[in-house]
Chains A and B, each alone.
Chain A
Amino acid sequence: MRLIVLDNPVQVAEWAAKYVMKRINDFKPGPHKYFVLGLPTGGTPLGMYKKLIEFVKDGKLSFEYVKTFNMDEYVNLDRKHPESYHYYMWNNFFKHIDIKPENVHILDGNAADLTTECENYERKILEAGGVELFIGGIGPDGHIAFNEPGSSLVSRTRLKTLAQDTLEANARFFDNDINKVPKQALTVGVATVMEAKEVLILITGASKAFALYKAVEEGVNHMWTVSAFQQHPNTFMICDEDATLELRVKTVKYFKGLTKLHNSLIGQ
């Protein structure tokens, strides 16, 4: 696992976007060779999406031969609701780029049969050849996708009931009324993400500092599901200074010492 420490969220967004661009372009995708990308939602990756849109507009990057799989979606929330992840992905990313609609995959939380929907999702990932690069964010409790604390670290895509903390945190997006917050979500499992060839986890802000400490300095623990990625062969955690507040100086210094090496990964 690599930890990349940058100054601020703007740099995190830019670094991540440059990395995604380099990986896709180096892959040289084409009609018979699609690049498969896993995507998150939330506040942290927003800046990365903005940068990627810029790259597409400038002609430096194309999503014509990219397939995407999103991590999660609420259950029983109208797709047009501003908090739905369909809405998020469409408005913040897909409508601005040249991706083809048939190459986009987001779990359907309104499907008649949610179990089948999850099984099909896993199958579609397999059929696409597996995820080349999965990008994720984490919650303050260290959850990745909607794999809440206590989730199995070998979980697959499934229906998940949300933790009380998550409901309370989300109430602000639903008129501050916890009863309006969807109680369930469909989410890829920890194992689903673990199978990706590469994983990029974006972590910014002091509120995520404790989770980052748990993920990096403590052992693998299903109460902090992101910690599972310590055992992934190719994971980058990209964080800003604020997110390192709970880490030991030694840890931060070690990884900052590798800055030059890390920057070579994005061709700088």
Chain B
Amino acid sequence: MTLKQFYNCRILRNHEIIDDHLWVRGGKIIDPEGVFFDEKVPADIRIDCHGLIIAPGFIDLQINGGYGVDFSYDIDNIENAVGIVAKKLIENGVTSFCPTVVTSPIPVYHSILPKIKRTAGGLHGATVLGVHVEGPFINLEKKGAHPPHCIREFSKGFQHVELAYGSLDNIRIVTLAPELINSAEIITELVKRNIIVSLGHSTANLIEGEEGCNHGATMITHLFNAMLGFHHRDPGLIGLLTSEKIAQPIYYGLISDGIHTHPSAVRMAYKANPDGVVLVTDAISALGLADGRYHLGQLDIEVKDNKAKIAGTDTLCGSADNLNRCVQKFQKFTKCSKVFALEAASYHPAKVLGIEKTKGTLDFGADADFIMLNDDLHVQSTWIAGEKVYPNFG
């Protein structure tokens, strides 16, 4: 197996950027100390990184599509749609993602969910970590850009969940509203199946949110969006950030594009609960495209001046900013360290999924999925399993 040494770089390790080399073999990051003292062999290939920062590849837990395709609309050729996005996302430094399906009719779930398989990344694109199903068990009052007629309840318990999705095998994250009847039971069942439950599209008060968390929910979907606004006597789901009544840490998706979340609100969330920040794009088909009309699931949308709205309305419906831009904006908004901004889009989402030993880190033994960035945090190249996948001049 080829032994690669990346030198003349700064690497993000143990929550700091240090002067070091990165050694890779067999698609994994390895400890060169053993190679040096035991194997006594030099690297087969030495790669000059020209002083760039090496950081773990970004992980997007909420992305509806991009580059003209929509995972909830382009259902006839869903594998192709996921493939197109996976291929383009590497240009933004994203090495893994959860394709996100918005509230859809039951036949759509049954048709596409089995086809969106977890797949390892490579030259063909970013790793698919499993599907994020956002809905249909959400609150009609906070439907956002989801089609109201497809929103459902689980009044008959978990069988309703199975009925809606069909197979749960490819599902990694479910966004649901915790105030729905039976939600405690449903959350418990999902968590038992190793599915992450994220709370959102909801009118839940703080107590309902805390109950959801105490049954196993660990995340909040696009904080501030599609939930009650902060109220000092009942802070709602937003109050989970500082709740003292939940057992485990809470993570929250944050669309740091400066449109969905005001910079001041980004700062507020960051200051209240920095460790929970998970930067997501919530990107739609318009990601990477010019202004115009596109699809989001069952709805027509219009993108103008970088803002995506349901056609003919003022309802925001997902972002057209890529994750690299969101990381840069987050750092600008919060004035946090580079390390923090980078980890908010890599280490934090990996922790949400419990994969922080292999992804979102450059520790020894982790997958060699990483990016090289300049000091403005612009992605210069993307590597998956130790191979350069972007830019690809070949």
Q: A104 — which chain B residues lie within 8 A by C-beta?
A: 36-37
* Contact A90 to B37, CB < 8 A, known contacts A95-B32, A100-B42: yes
Does B76 make an interface contact (CB < 8 A)?
Answer: no
A71-102: contact bitstring with B at CB < 8 Å (1 yes, 0 no)?
00000000110000011001000111000111
**Chain A binding surface, main DSSP class:** helix
Does B20 make an interface contact (CB < 8 A)?
Answer: yes
| Size of the chain B interface, CB-CB below 8 angstroms | 12
Report whether B36 and A80 are in contact in the complex, using a CB–CB cutoff of 8 Å.
no
B282-299 interface (Cβ within 8 A of A): none
Whole-angstrom distance between the alpha carbons of A104 and B36 in the complex? 9
* Contact A101 to B33, CB < 8 A, known contacts A95-B20, A95-B21: no
Chain B nearest CB, measured from A46 CB (Å): 15
Q: B32 — which chain A residues lie within 8 A by C-beta?
A: 95
Does B40 make an interface contact (CB < 8 A)?
Answer: yes
Report whether A80 and B40 are in contact in the complex, using a CB–CB cutoff of 8 Å.
no
Whole-angstrom distance between the alpha carbons of A104 and B40 in the complex? 9
Does B120 make an interface contact (CB < 8 A)?
Answer: no
Report whether B21 and A101 are in contact in the complex, using a CB–CB cutoff of 8 Å.
no
Chain A nearest CB, measured from B10 CB (Å): 13
Whole-angstrom distance between the alpha carbons of A95 and B33 in the complex? 8
Chain B nearest CB, measured from A139 CB (Å): 26
Report whether B20 and A101 are in contact in the complex, using a CB–CB cutoff of 8 Å.
no
Q: B42 — which chain A residues lie within 8 A by C-beta?
A: 100-101
B35: nearest chain-A partner, CB-CB: A101
Q: A96 — which chain B residues lie within 8 A by C-beta?
A: 19
Q: A87 — which chain B residues lie within 8 A by C-beta?
A: 33
Chain A nearest CB, measured from B186 CB (Å): 46
Report whether B40 and A86 are in contact in the complex, using a CB–CB cutoff of 8 Å.
no
Report whether B37 and A79 are in contact in the complex, using a CB–CB cutoff of 8 Å.
yes
Whole-angstrom distance between the alpha carbons of A86 and B40 in the complex? 14
Chain B nearest CB, measured from A80 CB (Å): 7
* Contact A80 to B33, CB < 8 A, known contacts A95-B20, A95-B21: yes
B8-26: contact bitstring with A at CB < 8 Å (1 yes, 0 no)?
0000000000011100000
B33-56: contact bitstring with A at CB < 8 Å (1 yes, 0 no)?
101110111100000000000000
A53-80: contact bitstring with B at CB < 8 Å (1 yes, 0 no)?
0000000000000000000000000011
The 8 closest A-B pairs by CB, nearest first: A101-B40, A101-B36, A102-B40, A90-B33, A86-B37, A100-B42, A95-B32, A90-B36
* 24 examples of A-B residue contacts, CB within 8 angstroms: A79-B33, A79-B37, A86-B33, A86-B37, A87-B33, A90-B33, A90-B36, A90-B37, A94-B36, A95-B21, A95-B32, A95-B33, A95-B36, A96-B19, A100-B42, A101-B35, A101-B37, A101-B39, A101-B40, A101-B41, A101-B42, A104-B36, A104-B37, A106-B37
Which residues of A come within 8 Å of B, CB atoms? 79-80, 86-87, 90, 94-96, 100-102, 104, 106
Contacts A90-B33, A101-B37, A101-B41 known; 15 new A-B pairs at CB < 8 A: A79-B33, A79-B37, A80-B33, A86-B33, A90-B37, A94-B36, A95-B20, A95-B21, A95-B33, A95-B36, A100-B42, A101-B35, A101-B39, A104-B36, A106-B37
